[in-house]
């Protein structure tokens, strides 16, 4: 009540001032006294408000003749932008935009602190500090030295441009001077985009030696920027990375590339380039493109850019609507894998697809109509099969296909779910430079199916829901048909996702033929505590085998009857997920085994996968596959995180790669320390070890998110 009366009295006193003065500030205090005609003294929990600024102090003297405030602290000035100023004494203009503060501290974005014996506010835009200490680290009475600090003779903060300027700056780590620079400019914490250097990285590799990467960011207007990253290493290696980004009203593009000279390929200029973009087109169409090229097979691995050994560049226009899908794309492939010959690989591929889902009148159910074209081109003109892959070296092919499918479901007595299905398709092929498939050809395929499902459901006394569902799918399709070129259906998967499918071939050039039955049973448990598990067991039975068999031994689908498929999955709400899949014959001999484990907890995480497969000539694999991929992380302390990854080839009895990473992050600093080893070798690639170190001083614009702050004891 008293503070309200004093505020009212002050308002009446200010009413006698000119209109300009009345608009300057509002003052609230416990005690207000007038000293003559021009001096006002406010004491006790004094607060001043002006244009989003708020000042708190113990005593303020306002001189109307000079329009200034003499303030005694402790003083806390809060800007509308979130900037905080703390001081002991101040002499400020009435609008708080100009003046001098003693023993002051400027806090930006509640993170970066600038402390000085004297601070000047100039024009409401600049804040100048003399003999300043800058840091975002928390300090304690027992250890007043911050983890890092920048000491400068003079510091100016530009609130409009959101930049901090240092004169005669010195960087100290744990109190030890490590770097000095006469002039330095850094973005303040509220600025995410500004010209200047980004976080540097120290890199050591067995091939290039030790070097430093120092990125420099250049904004070009509001919607474009360029990042230039030079790299100099001890073993005469120099590279320059460039990244250009531009945003448009309807999309964006990004172009990145690099050039290098080193001792690995003396006298040669090496490099790579990538380009990508996405644009929204009229009528809900989406345009995407991606392109990549490299000078030599080893460049991407030598400079730790990518592990890809087959580069694909493509442009695609697509649209997805309810019940409709349209896509057209052009793809170019370039292999840098040892042993591949690009002239015998389909380097240019085109695909067009139009698909529509609808409910046919009179029949009910759901139907789908698809029209598709596909073509691929090899640069070789040879009709021979020099590499022994069963395909002539220069075979070019084009295909046009139309297909129609239909499905309708019924609920029968006893809870049995019945479905009728049918699929028909017609293909036209045009083949060049392959004596096995001269000229053009056509093919028709199709089939009908009856599917029966009988789900049994029971809820246990503990509230868990149990579901058992036997499934039988009877399919009839012609046993024979015209043979066409097969290229995009070589790698066949057999899993619970396609156990009850018309065809398990991934492409359109191969189809399953002959009468068959897909039979299986599934069990699912949903526990009220939040975890669930599922088991699926199934098999494909045929009336006879095919000659030649379109499936290889590793697929588990070869022969008159397929191998058994057994799949297990479990997930818990505490972050555990397990998937296990086995494909084995009647003698329990496996053709394929897969397992994946994911465990994510607050302090640690594990992601592991294992794959075992038989050799298969149809999949161009003459040896068994037995490979483990493991990734793990563990939070050693609230500030330290450790990560580990490896890829181990049991058939070769050696690791393909391994690496460790340690990350330190607190309220003011982020440190990444990594060590990795690549063990693979070829004619162009040698094993390599890589060490990396990067340090980020948090608190400036564009830096990473801070971690836990250290706590002060006592």
3-state helix, strand, coil in the chain (%, to 5): 5, 60, 35
Residue-wise pLDDT tens digits, 63-89: 888 888 899 989 998 887 778 999 999
Mean pLDDT for the stretch of residues 143-158: 92
710 vs 453 pLDDT, higher one: 453
Q: Which stretch, 1-10, 62-71, 207-216, has highest mean pLDDT?
A: 207-216
| Residue 340 confidence (pLDDT) above 90 | no
| Residue 629 confidence (pLDDT) above 60 | yes
Mean pLDDT for the stretch of residues 158-167: 92
What average pLDDT does the chain have? Answer: 90
Q: CB-based burial of residue 239 (10 Å sphere; 0-12 exposed, 13-18 middle, 19+ buried)?
A: buried
Residue-wise pLDDT tens digits, 18-42: 434 445 568 888 998 888 788 889 9
* Whether the bond into 381 is cis, omega within 30 of 0: no
| Strand pairing category for 224-233 and 209-213 | antiparallel
CB-CB contact of 397 with 421 (8 Å): no
E strand spans, 437-515:
439-453, 456-459, 465-476
Considering only CA atoms, which of 244, 203, 249 is closest in space to residue 225? Answer: 244
450 vs 21 pLDDT, higher one: 450
Q: What is the pTM of this model?
A: 0.85
Q: What is the pLDDT of residue 6?
A: 42
Q: What is the pLDDT of residue 703?
A: 67
Q: What is the pLDDT of residue 64?
A: 86
Place of tokens 């009336």: 543
| Residue 609 confidence (pLDDT) above 50 | yes
Q: What is the pLDDT of residue 124?
A: 83
Query: How large is the greatest C-alpha to C-alpha distance in the chain, in angstroms?
Result: 114
Which two structure tokens, joined as six digits, stand for 396?
A: 């070019």
What percent of the chain is predicted at pLDDT more than 70? 96
Considering only CA atoms, which of 301, 336, 337 is closest in space to residue 690? Answer: 301
| β partners of residue 545 | none
Which segment of 89-103, 323-337, 524-538, 694-708 scores lowest on mean pLDDT? 694-708
Spatial distance between the Cα atoms of 148 and 330, rounded to a whole number of angstroms: 53
Spatial distance between the Cα atoms of 98 and 39, rounded to a whole number of angstroms: 19
> Which residues fall within 8 angstroms of residue 599, CB to CB, at 6 or more apart?
575, 576, 577, 605, 606, 607
E strand spans, 51-175:
53-63, 68-78, 84-93, 99-108, 112-122, 126-135, 148-158, 163-173
Which segment of 61-65, 389-393, 703-707 scores lowest on mean pLDDT? 703-707
Q: What is the pLDDT of residue 372?
A: 96
Q: What is the pLDDT of residue 709?
A: 82
Q: How confident is the model at residue 150 (pLDDT cuts 50, 70, 90)?
A: very high
The b-or-e profile of 443-461 (16+ CB within 10 A means b, else e) is bebbbebebebbeeeeeee
Q: What is the pLDDT of residue 702?
A: 67
């Amino acid at each position: 009540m008293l503070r309200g009366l004093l505020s009212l009295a002050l308002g009446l006193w200010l009413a006698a001032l000119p209109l300009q003065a009345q608009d300057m500030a509002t003052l609230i205090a416990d005690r207000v006294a007038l000293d003559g005609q021009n001096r006002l003294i406010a004491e006790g929990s004094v607060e001043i408000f002006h244009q989003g600024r708020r000042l708190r102090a113990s005593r303020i003297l306002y001189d109307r003749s000079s329009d200034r405030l003499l303030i005694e602290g402790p003083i806390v000035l809060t800007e509308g932008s979130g900037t905080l100023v703390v001081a002991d004494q101040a002499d400020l203009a009435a609008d708080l935009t100009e003046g001098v503060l003693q023993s002051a501290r400027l806090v930006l974005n509640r993170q970066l602190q600038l402390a000085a014996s004297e601070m000047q506010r100039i024009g409401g835009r600049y804040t100048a500090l003399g003999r300043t200490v800058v840091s975002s680290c928390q300090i304690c009475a027992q250890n007043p030295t911050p983890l890092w600090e920048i000491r400068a003779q003079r510091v100016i903060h530009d609130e409009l441009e959101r930049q901090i300027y240092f004169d005669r700056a010195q960087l100290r780590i744990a109190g030890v001077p490590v770097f000095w620079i006469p002039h330095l400019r850094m973005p303040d914490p509220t600025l995410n985009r500004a010209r200047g250097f980004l976080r540097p990285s120290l890199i050591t590799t067995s091939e290039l030696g030790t070097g430093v990467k120092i990125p420099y960011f250049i904004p070009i207007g509001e919607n474009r920027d360029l990042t230039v990253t030079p790299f100099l290493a001890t073993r005469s290696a120099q590279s320059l990375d460039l990244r250009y980004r531009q945003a448009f009203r309807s999309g964006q593009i990004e172009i990145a590339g690099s050039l290098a000279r080193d001792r690995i390929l003396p006298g040669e200029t090496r490099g790579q380039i990538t380009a990508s973009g996405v644009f929204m087109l009229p009528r809900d169409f989406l345009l995407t493109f991606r392109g990549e090229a490299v000078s030599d097979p080893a460049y991407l691995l030598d400079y730790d850019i990518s592990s890809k050994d087959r580069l694909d560049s493509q442009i695609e226009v697509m649209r997805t609507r309810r019940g409709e899908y349209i896509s057209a794309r052009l793809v170019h492939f370039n292999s840098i894998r040892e042993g591949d010959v690009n002239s015998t690989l389909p380097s240019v591929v085109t695909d067009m697809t139009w698909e529509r889902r609808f409910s046919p009148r009179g029949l009910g159910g759901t139907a789908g109509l698809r029209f598709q074209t596909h073509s691929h081109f090899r640069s070789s003109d040879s009709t021979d099969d020099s590499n022994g892959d069963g395909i002539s070296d220069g075979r070019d092919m084009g295909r046009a296909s139309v297909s129609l499918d239909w499905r309708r479901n019924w609920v029968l007595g006893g809870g049995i779910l019945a479905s009728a299905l049918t699929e028909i398709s017609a293909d036209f092929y045009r083949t060049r430079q392959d004596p096995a498939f001269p000229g053009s050809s056509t093919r028709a395929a199709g089939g009908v199916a009856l599917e029966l499902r009988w789900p049994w459901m029971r809820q246990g006394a503990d509230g868990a829901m149990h579901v058992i569902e036997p499934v039988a799918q009877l399919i009839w399709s012609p046993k024979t048909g015209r043979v066409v070129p097969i290229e995009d259906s070589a790698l066949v998967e057999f899993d619970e996702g396609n156990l009850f499918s018309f065809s398990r071939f991934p492409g359109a050039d191969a189809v399953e033929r002959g009468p068959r039955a897909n039979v299986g049973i599934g069990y699912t448990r949903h526990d009220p505590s939040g975890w669930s598990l599922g088991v699926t067991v199934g098999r494909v039975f045929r009336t006879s085998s095919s000659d030649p068999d379109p499936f290889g031994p590793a697929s588990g689908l070869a022969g008159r009857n397929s191998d058994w498929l057994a799949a297990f999955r479990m997930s818990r709400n505490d972050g555990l997920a397990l998937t296990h899949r086995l494909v084995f014959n009647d003698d329990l001999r496996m053709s394929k085994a897969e397992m994946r484990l994911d465990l994510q907890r607050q302090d640690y995480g594990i992601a592991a996968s294992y794959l075992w497969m038989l050799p298969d000539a149809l999949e161009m694999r003459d040896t068994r596959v037995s490979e483990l991929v493991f990734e793990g992380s563990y939070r050693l302390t609230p500030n330290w995180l450790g990560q580990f990854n490896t890829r181990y080839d049991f058939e070769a009895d050696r690791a393909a790669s391994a690496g460790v990473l340690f990350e330190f992050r607190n309220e003011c600093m982020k440190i990444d320390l990594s060590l990795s080893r690549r063990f693979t070798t070829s004619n162009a690639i040698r094993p390599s070890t890589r060490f990396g170190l990067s340090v980020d001083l948090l608190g400036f614009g564009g830096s990473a998110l801070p971690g836990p702050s250290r706590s002060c004891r006592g």
